Amino acid sequence: MTTTPRWLSESYGPGGGGAAEGILRHLDATELDPLTLLVRESAQNSWDARTGDGPVDYHVELRSLSPTEAPIWRDLLLENAPTTEHLELRASLARPVIRVLTVTDTGTKGLGGPTRADVVADGDSDFASFVRKTGSSQDLDSRGGTYGYGKVVFHLASKAHTVLVHTRCRVGGRLETRLIGWAIHESYSTDTVEGPKTFTGRHYWGRVQDGYVEPLVGEEADEVARRLGLRALPEGETGTTVAVIEPGFGERDDAEAMRWIADAIVWNLWPKMLPEGGQPPMRFSIAYDGTDVPVPRPSEVPHLRPFLWAHGDMNVFIEHKTRKRPLGRFGVRKFIAPPGKPPRAAQEAGIGGRLHHTCLMRPVDLVVKYLEGPPFFEEHGGYAAVFRADECMDRTFALSEPASHDNWMVDRLQDLDERRLAKHALKKIADEMKAASGPAAVVNNAGDGVSLAGMSKMMAGLMAGAPGLGGSAVFPATGDTRSPGPASGRPGADASDTGEAGSNLPDRPVAHGRRGARLRYLDEPFHDTVDGRAVLVQRFELVDTGEQTVRSRLAVALNDALGREGEPPRGAFVPTVLGWRSDTGEIHRSDELSADGGDGRVWALIVTPAPDTVTEIVMVSERKGGDV
């Protein structure tokens, strides 16, 4: 039997109920952008609904209805619709151009279980939990969601506060398609044929029967979804599409909004994009009016890449030793600060021009927040860290999260023991960030701890410098050096294959040999650690295009009277090239570098210095083959 779907506004029963505006306000406390919140919450719902048979595919699409589609939407969705005074749907559908934003997931089980909230489920109750109930608690095992309010992000994203839900699930071993509309606005009172009545502000669209709305099912649901042009689910697969009618993007235009969504996916969901056994747990795609919008790979985003390195280095085990309770794992990476600013979606998450943050996540591997730590002591460097809570702490941290899941508010935990454990974990994270932010002490010949930064400043007067053509830095005696320290020198000029610098050489113009190529020092050399050893790092870029060979000329600078050391004493330590680091973090361990120039890539020469000396660095670049 085919029926015309129509709207029914939910009225208060004798026992009362919750007003719709109270549901909408549960997510008001967050400072996250509405589009970021939409990405985080909808992707979390998709992950929680995974079947486990393969990756979850998550697709976002924005399209404008064609002149032939718009009348169909109006005919189907205006039947018995609430007046504009109580819902903006009529005004949205009256616009010359109607826009629809859809979020589709597959590799998920769809919204199964009973379609009524008053039926006891023998198994899943996903449909009732998503469409009927709000604020109900969930089993937290392997789930990101906890409160049942996250689904409201779809209504918040709609100017009409109206969505359509199209899902295919398994019911009694068979596939069933369901389609229902759902709107949330404000409670109100009005006169009806039955007299004055009060309404909750919730409205449902579908098959009206017995005073409530059931979804369209089976062939009827598929036919209406086809007429509306909703994204078809793959044949024989389960999944869900949520269509947001007339999305609101604030001051952004549509293209800017879709770009923001792409960046929000990368910065908030990157752990789900990392390959596991050859494929990532989730796959993401975006389309705008039929054109694909690229979603960057996390490894392609310069300011995010260090967090991936830290994620691969989570070898610090954090625990409460007296209680013998594991709390989580921590990894940190120090690096040369990437140039430029991160995208605005990252800046919203608290990532500025410099990185000194820890990405917090629960075992479900969804980003909770980027916790800011003390800035890195050297302006050219930074650190990025990742903390992943232990499985036994998952419920504790989940209960500390607000409805938007974007913070760990551990002081709100009611259980005193859980609160102490969570606070201890955050204290240990803060301790690790403090250690990562500053120079570590090294051991001098007398066995006393000496700061690399302090030693460099103390001995800086022994050198005259090499203005514009290289860098110098002071290293104390060898020892356990875990973090970088500052160096002296001056960046800025280009050097060619004929340019050399000594600690007592004056400035000279750049010269070019027959095969010379320009090389630009980007900043002063600075201390770092590689494989647990103290090193000196000089960043540079190759200005000219073409394949080139880069070599270094290392020397020990003496005082003003003696100049630079020509031939070191027999058996003396000399500075050596450890390798060349690319802007991806990969280290090429060789004496010279072969690379293409002119592409804006940032390289770094890594030098193992001689102890108790000032190391002088000069680099030269030659074109491969042919004359200039």
- The whole-number average pLDDT for the span 297-307 is 91
Domain of 109: which CATH number? 3.30.565
Residues 250, 330 share a domain: no
- Would 35 be classed as within a structural domain? yes
Residues 345, 261 share a domain: no
Query: What are 203's two structure tokens?
Result: 């409205």
Whether the per-residue pLDDT at 39 is higher than 80: the answer is: yes
Whether the per-residue pLDDT at 51 is higher than 50: the answer is: yes
Q: In the chain, what percentage of residues exceed pLDDT 70? A: 78
pLDDT for 30:
65
Residues 185, 58 share a domain: yes
Residues 513, 404 share a domain: no
- Would 398 be classed as within a structural domain? yes
- Would 167 be classed as within a structural domain? yes
What angle in degrees, to the nearest 10, is found between the helix axes of 218-228 and 70-77? 140
Phi, psi of 468 (to 5 degrees): 80, -10
What DSSP string describes 320-354? Answer: ETTTTEEEEEEEEEEEEPPSS---HHHHHTT--SS
Name the residue among 202, 184, 182 with its Cα closest to residue 9: 202
Q: Is 248 exposed, middle or buried (0-12, 13-18, 19+ CB in 10 A)?
A: middle
Query: Are the C-beta atoms of residues 87 and 203 closer than 8 Å to each other?
Result: yes
Query: Are the C-beta atoms of residues 159 and 247 closer than 8 Å to each other?
Result: yes
How far, in whole angstroms, is CA 514 from its chain's centroid?
47
Whether the per-residue pLDDT at 506 is higher than 60: the answer is: no
293 vs 309: CA distance, rounded Å: 26
Most confident segment among 25-29, 350-354, 371-375, 508-512: 371-375
pLDDT for 26:
54
Q: Which residue stretches of 438-526 are H helix?
A: 452-459
Lowest mean pLDDT among 180-184, 244-248, 413-417, 504-508: 504-508
pLDDT digits (tens, 9 = 90+) for 239-274: 999 999 999 998 999 999 999 999 999 999 999 999
Residues 283, 256 share a domain: yes
Query: Are the C-beta atoms of residues 166 and 156 closer than 8 Å to each other?
Result: no
3-state secondary structure string, 200-264? EEEEEEEEEECCEEECEEHHHHHHHHHHHCCCCCCCCCCEEEEEEECECCCCCCHHHHHHHHHHH
Q: What angle do CA 597, 601, 603 make, to 5 degrees?
A: 95
pLDDT for 612:
60
Beta pairing, strands 603-608 & 291-293: unpaired
Residues 593, 473 share a domain: yes
Residues 34, 11 share a domain: yes
Residues 394, 287 share a domain: no
Lowest mean pLDDT among 29-33, 103-107, 338-342, 565-569: 565-569
566 vs 200: CA distance, rounded Å: 87
List Cβ neighbours of 553 (8 Å cut-off, separation of 6 or more). Answer: 500, 617, 618, 619, 620
How far, in whole angstroms, is CA 344 from its chain's centroid?
12
- Would 442 be classed as within a structural domain? no
- The whole-number average pLDDT for the span 268-281 is 90
pLDDT digits (tens, 9 = 90+) for 121-151: 777 889 998 888 765 544 444 444 443 556 7
3-state secondary structure of 519: strand
- Would 445 be classed as within a structural domain? no
Residues 614, 482 share a domain: yes
Whether the per-residue pLDDT at 549 is higher than 70: the answer is: yes
In the chain, count H helices and then E strands. Answer: 13, 31
181-184: which pairs have CB atoms within 8 A and are 24 or more residues apart? 181/5, 181/7, 181/77, 181/205, 181/206, 182/131, 182/155, 183/7, 183/82, 183/87, 183/89, 183/155, 184/20, 184/23, 184/24, 184/152, 184/155
Whether the per-residue pLDDT at 508 is higher than 80: the answer is: no
Query: Are the C-beta atoms of residues 442 and 450 closer than 8 Å to each other?
Result: yes
pLDDT for 493:
36
pLDDT digits (tens, 9 = 90+) for 434-462: 999 987 543 333 333 333 433 343 333 33
The owner of tokens 């301790």 is 431
The owner of tokens 């616009």 is 95
Phi, psi of 234 (to 5 degrees): -55, 145
Name the residue among 310, 321, 318 with its Cα closest to residue 390: 318
Structural domain harbouring 321: 305-437
- Would 459 be classed as within a structural domain? yes
Residues 324, 210 share a domain: no
- The whole-number average pLDDT for the span 597-608 is 90
Q: Is 479 exposed, middle or buried (0-12, 13-18, 19+ CB in 10 A)?
A: middle
Query: What are 159's two structure tokens?
Result: 């100017």
Whether the per-residue pLDDT at 8 is higher than 70: the answer is: yes
243 vs 163: CA distance, rounded Å: 5
Q: How confident is the model at residue 536 (pLDDT cuts 50, 70, 90)?
A: confident
Last residue of a domain, one of 381, 412, 437: 437
Most confident segment among 117-131, 138-152, 296-310, 598-612: 296-310
Residues 60, 12 share a domain: yes
Q: How many domains does the chain have?
A: 3
- Would 41 be classed as within a structural domain? yes
- Would 300 be classed as within a structural domain? no
The owner of tokens 């369209």 is 216
Residues 474, 387 share a domain: no
Last residue of a domain, one of 437, 471, 500: 437
Query: Are the C-beta atoms of residues 320 and 421 closer than 8 Å to each other?
Result: yes
Last residue of a domain, one of 377, 410, 437: 437
Q: Would you say the pTM of this structure is higher than 0.75?
A: no
605 vs 615: CA distance, rounded Å: 13
205 vs 221: CA distance, rounded Å: 12
Q: Which residue stretches of 438-555 are H helix?
A: 452-459
